[in-house]
Structure 1
Amino acid sequence: MKRAIEGAELEWPPLHGATPERVWRDVLQPIAGILRQSSAAVAADLVTLVRGEVPELFVDAQTVDEAMSSTEESVRLFAQLLEVGGNPAQSDLPPSTLAIMRSAVWRQIPLSWHSRFYRLAQQHVWRWLHSHIVDQTPDGSDRALAVDLATTMLLQFVDRAMTLADEAYEIEREKWLQGAAASRGAAIDDVLADRDQDVTSLSTRLRYDLTRHHVGVIVWSDNWSHASTSLPALSEAVAEIARANGAESSITHPLGSLAVAGWFSSRRDFGPDLEFSLDKKGSPVLPEGVKVAAGVSGHGIDGFRLTHTQAGHARSVAALLPPEDVDVTRYQDVAVIALCAADPEHATRFVRQELGSLAADDEATFRLAKTLQIYLRENRSRARAAAVLSVHPNTVNYRVRQAEELLGRSIDENSLELGVALTMLPALKRLDATRSSGV
């Protein structure tokens, strides 16, 4: 893309001529800079608008995040084109948008839903541009020309984007229809929806034996730029996990452009000690930036469904915890949080009511609460709690007494409720945000 400088011809033909170029420089170029800097906020408002109009596009927090990232990239790209006078007819789709269009095919999302997204986006960005043009220019021929130029560029940009998105969708759809993936995806949907109980037929369609023991996982990433975030790479991560645990077979099913569901199976029960960190040679199982949520080993078709449901609950909990604390989330470790977090508003009230000042959002208080939680989990053994925390037993005693003072009551009172509230505490901040945003 050429940068517009004095004496250089602008790429976009409608800007050729003294008057259009002057209006572009005086009015549109500064506004384009504001739009580029505001792209995240504009994208957030737009996604909120589309969620209200086309809620089917947003099945979980991951799809919201994906849409937010892709929309921000597209808004920024348009702003840059407007800022330098680039030709929108020659623009390309951001990689994140291409990934979303491909995953839409695998998830069987109608193309019309994405077309609706683009139409709403066009309306929203046009209103933003119009309001800024009106605010910054007096009524007259310059304002009219600025509105006309901005509108024309936006229409051409959206038309180009929709054309490329449609092409990406159709190319992927042809691949999907011609491959065995379509049959396998439909079979997985039938199993999970309990539409078919013919285990033999379903196993044939899946090319995966449903009569064995299964572990369900969800593997995902929050980073578009990593090579490990492509769906083939995430599917390979499932296969690596399967190999590390001695599985005999594995399958995957896309959940979005940055996430896959997976299962691996064996004739024997896997037990609770699954390996997600290192393979048998001591090499890392998960690529950098990739996270996994896992269910408990289950048997047969019912176990196939249940372990997948548990992996989904574990992933929901992972989204509530600080990102730096989340690489592997096992359902058996977070089942209580998953159960309580089903109603975020109720859960936050419960934790704050039970813990009082011990739920304060500062590092020192959280350390006291964490010590008390481990102390109770270790059956009030100072020595075992100290070993877990790598501190002296006297430090455990001191912290427990401080925690008790903040509670304003003995830890012997309502000990069950206290234990649950302490277990929920790490998720409290994200629960508050979830409750506010409605995600």
Structure 2
Amino acid sequence: MEVEWAPAREPAAHRAWSRVLRPVAAELLEGSTALAAHAAETIRAEFPELFDNADSRGENLGSTEANIRLFARLMERGADPRRVELPPATLAFARTEVQRQVAFASLTRFYRLGHEVVWEWLLARIARRADSQRELLKAVELGSAWLFTYVDASVAEAERVYEAEQRLWLRSTSAARTEVIADIMAGREKDARRAERRLRYGLERRHVAVIAWMDTAADEDALDVLEPALGKVAAGLGADATLIQPTGLRAAVMWVSGTCGFSAGRPPLPGSGGPAPDGVRLAIGEPGSGLTGFRRTYNEAVHARRVASLIGTGAERVTWYADVAVAAMASVDMDLATTFVHRVLGKLADRDEATRRLAKTLAVYLDENASRSRTGQRLGVHGNTVRYRVLQAERLLGRGIEEDTLDLRVALALLPVVDGESVF
């Protein structure tokens, strides 16, 4: 039988292949079942958590035996080990591991462990069959090179199959989640138990929705940037469970939930620098319970993001719906909102820096129930400065701030939104 692999065609190599490696390959084919069981048990011993049921153990054994038998047949005929077509059992195993969310690094380790077991088996039989030290060295050299090349080619092919399956699986999983979420948002899905099964996320809990997005495209996958930021928020909220769903190329939404629930307002987040890295912005809804709360907190996060986007570069990196609820509700119709702001504030809506400082001071002053000391503490200025700025604001308004207080407070909340530049 002619040897196909070029390194084995040289006369001394061809003799070693014909006299030693080909008979060893035939012996390997005959003993493949027993050796596969040993290799599969070796893999299982290193990864017990991945093979804790009969199905996973059977799939591993079937894939391992199919690989050994293919290896033996190819080696027996001296085929080029770079031209590998993985057996169906191995392809099925790789696809199954994608669905079990086993990392490809683990699959690579499976191959390497199998490689070690097979090489130890081969080495012992090569040593018994070689007639001389020279033939032994040549057979070991050829067998080792052939096996390493075969394993490298097999891993490369497995990676191609794994990545293709992973893309398909992620798309199908994401599409299924997207459909369920859309049904919940539209009110079509009213059965929380059924929705839980479809989402694999508990719904009979308290939820907080968080939207993370990037205003500009990143050189890397956006989710690689957004997910760590969302993870930090989840940790700060003390979440028991999370559900993350991409909503575009530069955005994702996360629901976090807990059996104990979350308090209304601002839950604490870790780190004085906040949870959002450079380039990432967050919008966070208020806590809500069950299907209704799942839907409401998301809608609030959507509106918080809308307000942050309207404010533009002056917005905080983290926008809590609780802080912008009035602006969110009052800015649904921007034409009406803009007209209202300028009618109520008059010259106090001018865009120069001095006027903006007066508007900001007045907004905080009203928020602090007309306390000059608390306003001064928040703004870092003296109480007399607060008094002076409030008087200046009243002059621009042309009236006292005791009149139409509700309109005034709403207009001040809307001012950064309609002008696209935060003063807060």
- C-alpha offsets along residues 273-311 of structure 1, whole Å, 9 cap, x if unaligned? 5457525xx785322211100110000010000000000
Q: What is the aligned partner in structure 1 of residue 306 from structure 2?
A: 316
Corresponding position: 1:369 with 2:362: no
- The alpha-carbon deviation at position 235 of structure 1 amounts to 3.1
Give the CA RMSD over aligned residues: 2.3
Residue aligned with 2:207, SS: strand
Contact 2:308 2:319 in 1 (8 A): yes
Give the partner amino acid of 2:381.
V
Q: What is the aligned partner in structure 1 of residue 111 from structure 2?
A: none
Q: What is the aligned partner in structure 2 of residue 238 from structure 1?
A: 230
Q: What is the aligned partner in structure 2 of residue 404 from structure 1?
A: 394
Distance of 1:232 and 1:211 partners within structure 2:
30
Distance of 1:339 and 1:179 partners within structure 2:
36
Q: What is the aligned partner in structure 1 of residue 192 from structure 2?
A: 199
Residues 172 and 403 of structure 1, relative CA distance in 2, 3 Å threshold: farther
Contact 2:211 2:302 in 1 (8 A): yes
Residue aligned with 1:216, SS: strand
Corresponding position: 1:266 with 2:226: no
Give the partner amino acid of 1:240.
K
Distance of 2:384 and 2:273 partners within structure 1:
39
Contact 1:276 1:286 in 2 (8 A): no
Contact 1:276 1:285 in 2 (8 A): no
Contact 2:265 2:322 in 1 (8 A): no
Contact 1:248 1:266 in 2 (8 A): yes
Q: What is the aligned partner in structure 2 of residue 215 from structure 1?
A: 208
Contact 1:219 1:238 in 2 (8 A): yes
Distance of 1:342 and 1:178 partners within structure 2:
33
- The alpha-carbon deviation at position 423 of structure 1 amounts to 1.3
Residues 177 and 243 of structure 1, relative CA distance in 2, 3 Å threshold: closer
Corresponding position: 1:325 with 2:315: yes
Aligned ranges for residues 282-431 of structure 1 at < 5 Å? 285-430=275-420
Distance of 1:283 and 1:387 partners within structure 2:
21
Distance of 1:305 and 1:256 partners within structure 2:
19
Contact 1:351 1:422 in 2 (8 A): yes
Q: What is the aligned partner in structure 2 of residue 38 from structure 1?
A: none
Aligned-pair identity in percent equals: 43
Q: TM (normalized to structure 1)?
A: 0.56
- C-alpha offsets along residues 196-224 of structure 1, whole Å, 9 cap, x if unaligned? 21211110111100001000111001121
Greater CA drift, 269-278 or 196-205: 269-278
Residue aligned with 2:198, SS: helix
Contact 2:264 2:286 in 1 (8 A): yes
- The alpha-carbon deviation at position 362 of structure 1 amounts to 0.5
Structure 1 regions of 5+ residues with no counterpart?
1-170, 432-439
Distance of 2:250 and 2:299 partners within structure 1:
19
When the two structures are aligned, how many residues end up with a matched partner?
259
- The alpha-carbon deviation at position 245 of structure 1 amounts to 1.4
Residue aligned with 2:310, SS: coil
Residues 362 and 283 of structure 1, relative CA distance in 2, 3 Å threshold: closer
- The alpha-carbon deviation at position 350 of structure 1 amounts to 0.4
Structure 2 regions of 5+ residues with no counterpart?
1-163
Residues 183 and 232 of structure 1, relative CA distance in 2, 3 Å threshold: farther
Q: TM (normalized to structure 2)?
A: 0.57
Q: What is the aligned partner in structure 1 of residue 240 from structure 2?
A: 248
Distance of 1:250 and 1:303 partners within structure 2:
15
Distance of 1:362 and 1:326 partners within structure 2:
20
Residues 231 and 211 of structure 1, relative CA distance in 2, 3 Å threshold: same
Distance of 1:327 and 1:373 partners within structure 2:
21
Contact 2:266 2:320 in 1 (8 A): no
Contact 1:245 1:274 in 2 (8 A): no
Residues 198 and 291 of structure 1, relative CA distance in 2, 3 Å threshold: same
Q: What is the aligned partner in structure 1 of residue 183 from structure 2?
A: 190
Contact 1:318 1:326 in 2 (8 A): yes
Residue aligned with 1:321, SS: helix
- The alpha-carbon deviation at position 335 of structure 1 amounts to 0.6
- C-alpha offsets along residues 15-51 of structure 1, whole Å, 9 cap, x if unaligned? xxxxxxxxxxxxxxxxxxxxxxxxxxxxxxxxxxxxx
Q: What is the aligned partner in structure 2 of residue 117 from structure 1?
A: none
Residue aligned with 2:420, SS: helix
Residues 321 and 177 of structure 1, relative CA distance in 2, 3 Å threshold: closer
- C-alpha offsets along residues 158-196 of structure 1, whole Å, 9 cap, x if unaligned? xxxxxxxxxxxxx79962576433322222222112212
Q: What is the aligned partner in structure 1 of residue 79 from structure 2?
A: none
Corresponding position: 1:278 with 2:270: yes
Residues 190 and 359 of structure 1, relative CA distance in 2, 3 Å threshold: same
Residues 406 and 235 of structure 1, relative CA distance in 2, 3 Å threshold: same
Distance of 1:283 and 1:346 partners within structure 2:
37
Residue aligned with 1:223, SS: coil
Distance of 2:284 and 2:217 partners within structure 1:
22
Give the partner amino acid of 1:265.
S
Residues 221 and 335 of structure 1, relative CA distance in 2, 3 Å threshold: same
Aligned ranges for residues 131-170 of structure 1 at < 5 Å? none
Distance of 2:384 and 2:200 partners within structure 1:
58
Greater CA drift, 333-342 or 217-226: 217-226
Distance of 1:179 and 1:283 partners within structure 2:
37
Residues 283 and 320 of structure 1, relative CA distance in 2, 3 Å threshold: closer
Distance of 2:277 and 2:219 partners within structure 1:
10
Structure of larger gyration radius: 2
- The alpha-carbon deviation at position 346 of structure 1 amounts to 0.4
